[in-house]
Amino acid sequence: MASVKLYQKDGDAKAVQMQEGIEKKFGYLPEVFQAMGRNGDFLDSLLQLNTAAGKGLDPKTKELIAIAVSAVNGCEYCLSAHRAGAKAAGVTDEEITAALEVAALMSAFNNFNKAIGLKIDIK
């Protein structure tokens, strides 16, 4: 259950218009876009950032990065959404598992290195 009001096409006019397009794309209106649906400028800005981020990366690579970051950040919603996006882009289960292995590896090294305060000597 969401901890904020979900706007199901009852936010400002721009948000309603954008949500209608999102609903057409997905066949329903995902809760993440309902939660952002109060303010069309905010929703538009995030969707523009989503389009701009990772330009030059193929869709599979972009989704694998999103999966790894979502896993490390502990966002189950994002992990599920980007796993679906990855599968739609042709990513295999083995590639998803490999991305999660790299995320786990980096998380372990990052935490270890932060804890002991190593001098940066690999450049």
Rounded Cα gap, residues 122 and 45, in angstroms: 37
Please list the active-site residues: 75, 78
Query: Six-digit token pair at 3?
Result: 């901890």
Rounded Cα gap, residues 29 and 11, in angstroms: 13
CA atoms within 13 A on the CB side of 73: 12
Rounded Cα gap, residues 2 and 120, in angstroms: 42
CA atoms within 13 A on the CB side of 98: 10
Q: Residues in the chain, how many?
A: 123
